[in-house]
Amino acid sequence: MKNSKANVIKSGSITILGIESSCDDTSAAIIRDKVILSNVVAGQKVHEEYGGVVPELASRAHQQNIIPVVDRAIARAGITKDEISAVAFTRGPGLLGSLLVGTSFAKG
């Protein structure tokens, strides 16, 4: 993600990493020039026994899932991290702890 302006000028394309972490699924997608190159979703089975989403468990699971999900999305897209021009993430609405995981990761 270094020098994203140079990546756009060099390739003429914009490649975006999108991160979603508003509730209980951790998702990452790579989009280049309006084409979805990859989309990876990690669900959280931990909530099944409670009959609903437990916010604290959701944020902990996001912390465990975010790096592998993003790495998998990048690999499936067939790109390197240096090719990413921008990062988009869910700002809200959602569970505060879950949103903070995605926001913190996006900001690096």
Q: Are 4 and 74 in contact (CB under 8 A)?
A: no
Which pLDDT belongs to residue 44? 77
Please give the model's pTM, rounded to 2 decimal places: 0.85
Burial class of residue 56, CB neighbours in 10 A (0-12, 13-18, 19+): exposed
Which pLDDT belongs to residue 4? 54
Tell which wins on pLDDT, 37 or 46: 37
Q: Which CATH number fits domain 4-99: 3.40.50.1100, 3.30.420.40, 3.30.420.10, 3.20.20.100?
A: 3.30.420.40
Which pLDDT belongs to residue 6? 55
Extents of the domains making up the chain: 4-99
| pLDDT digits 0-9 by tens, 11-32 | 689 999 999 999 989 999 999 9
Which pLDDT belongs to residue 1? 54
Output the CA–CA distances (angstroms, integers) from residue 104 to 85, 90, 99, in the order listed.
Answer: 18, 11, 8
The whole-angstrom separation of Cα 56 and Cα 59 is: 5
Q: Are 24 and 61 in contact (CB under 8 A)?
A: yes
Question: Which residue stretches of 14-91 are H helix?
Answer: 55-77
| pLDDT digits 0-9 by tens, 49-105 | 888 888 889 999 999 999 999 999 999 999 999 999 999 999 999 999 999 999 999
Which pLDDT belongs to residue 78? 98
Q: What's the token pair of residue 44?
A: 């959280």
